Amino acid sequence: MTFFDLASLAKPLVTAPLALAHLDLDKDRRGVLGFTERAEALTVRQLLSHSSGLPPWFPYRPGCLAEDLAAFSGWGRHALLTPGRVGSFLYSDLGYRMLAELLARETGQSFAALGEAATGLLAAPWSEAPRAVPDGQDADAWRLACPHWPFPPQAPGLPHDANARAGMMGHAGFGTSPEGMARVLERWLAGGFPDRMAVDTVQAADGARWGLGLQRALTGAGRFGSLLAQLPPGPGGIHVLVEDSTELPPPAPAVHGASGEPSAFWFHLAYTGPALFYRPADGLCIALLTHRQGPSGELLDAETLRARRWAALGKWVGC
């Protein structure tokens, strides 16, 4: 059995469904989360749609995130260390950490136990390790942000991401096999969660549209929305695709020009390689399980990883 670290697919498969099931979307959470100096309300809806104004990332340690952010002065030293504006889209792992904290607080259960029970996914540490992935840009950002905090070591049973290894809830830390993924998606669809998540909520400067845990796939040259638009309407269904080769794929079509119209699909990508695509019109659900390791064990760059996803999806689509 091949085991995959789902990384950020924890957001749409675990954290967002739990938030939709247990939390009030529009209640102001500034006080309970420690953001007492924040002028604007802080809501679950903002956190789900990455429009809270929180920065993308910050080194994890137990305690109050709001206090750590307030004490930090090195914003802008790295792309991951650049805050956003409330109401505008900026992808943030920290927002999903906040959601996990709220869920643990309001249910009285640990987030890992809550997630396992609700989804059937396995929370780290894992007894069966996924394929190892080298440290990425979070390692560089960690050392820039907080060199006095020890960088967490890798271990076979822990996720690749520095914050996930150190214990950040909500944004990563779950894994599964291809067979387990199919069962997880059955529960996800049966609960009606993807349709509640696939709702236009906020638009990014580049035209990207986000819902409550999923992103709209746009059409246009080199974009997944155009590739998947070749699939005719049908009866839907769940399809788990596995690409476990270490061979490098041919380049994907170049992304150029302005994005086109929104496609019929919503999606989410994971830093480690897996991807999830959903078409609300007929309930078609496609999960791609792959990895981000090259033939020499190197971390694949974003464009090579896009090529790997494109090749696997294109083969399945039939083009």
Give the tens place of pLDDT for each residue, 34-57: 999 999 999 999 999 999 999 999
For the chain, the domain total comes to 2
Answer with the one of 174, 201, 234 that is the final residue of a domain. Answer: 174
User: Structure pTM?
Assistant: 0.96
β-bridge pairing 174-176 and 122-123: antiparallel
Is residue 316 scored above 80 in pLDDT?
yes
pLDDT at 258 over 80: no
Mean pLDDT, residues 191-206 taken together: 92
Average pLDDT estimate for 87-106: 96
Angle subtended by helix axes 178-190 and 111-119, to nearest 10: 90
Q: Are residues 149 and 34 in the same domain?
A: yes
pLDDT of residue 133: 87
Same domain, 123 and 225: no
Q: Does 205 share its domain with 274?
A: yes
Distance CA 204, CA 100 (A): 24
Segment 1-27 shows an average pLDDT of 96
pLDDT for res 49: 97
pLDDT(136) > 90? no
State which of 124, 159, 174 marks the end of a domain. Answer: 174
- Specify the CATH number for the domain of residue 113: 3.40.710.10
Is the distance from CB of 17 to CB of 99 less than 8 angstroms? no
Long-range contacts, stretch 103-107, CB < 8 angstroms, 24+ apart: 103/15, 103/18, 103/19, 103/22, 103/23, 104/169, 105/32, 106/22, 106/23, 107/22
Is the pLDDT at 201 greater than 80? The verdict is yes
Place of tokens 């083009």: 319
Question: Which pLDDT value is given to residue 245?
Answer: 86
**Residue 240, helix vs strand vs coil:** strand
Res 203 pLDDT > 90: no
For residues 166 and 284, state if they share a domain: no
pLDDT at position 167:
87
Stretch 102-128: mean pLDDT, rounded? Answer: 96
- 202-203 sheet: strands from edge to edge: 202-203, 209-210, 215-218, 262-269, 275-279, 284-289, 237-242
* Last residue of one domain, picked from the residues 174, 207, 240: 174
In 128-158, which positions are buried (b, 16+ CB within 10 angstroms) versus exposed (e)?
eebbebeebebeebbeebbeeeebbeeeeeb
312 and 224 share a domain?
yes
Residue-wise pLDDT tens digits, 146-162: 999 989 988 989 998 89
Q: Describe the crossing of helices 93-107 and 111-119 by its angle, rounded to 10 degrees.
A: 90
Tell me: do 151 and 214 sit in the same domain.
Answer: no
Amino acid at 56: P
* Together in a domain, 14 and 148: yes
Among 17, 35, 183, residue whose Cα is nearest residue 111: 17
- Same domain for 238 and 301? yes
pLDDT at 311: 96
Retrieve residue 55's tokens.
């920065």
pLDDT of residue 205 exceeding 90, the answer is no
In angstroms, the CA 157 to CA 45 distance is 32
Place 119 in a pLDDT band, splitting at 50, 70 and 90: very high
pLDDT recorded at residue 195: 97
Distance CA 210, CA 202 (A): 5
Q: Spell 172-189 as b/e; 16+ CB within 10 A means b.
A: bbbbbbbebbebbbeebb
163 and 231 share one domain? no
Residues 132 and 249 in one domain: no
Q: Is the pLDDT of residue 191 over 90?
A: yes
Q: What is the pLDDT of residue 1?
A: 58
Asked if residue 155 and residue 242 are part of one domain, the reply reads no
The model's pLDDT over 212-236, given as tens digits with 9 standing for 90+, comes to 999 999 999 999 999 999 999 888 8
Do both 151 and 163 map to the same domain?
yes
pLDDT band with cut points at 50, 70 and 90 for residue 259? confident
Q: Which of 244, 259, 260 lies closest to 311 in space, CA to CA?
A: 244
Token readout for 257 is: 């020009």
| Whole-number average pLDDT of the chain | 94
Structural domain span for residue 30: 4-174
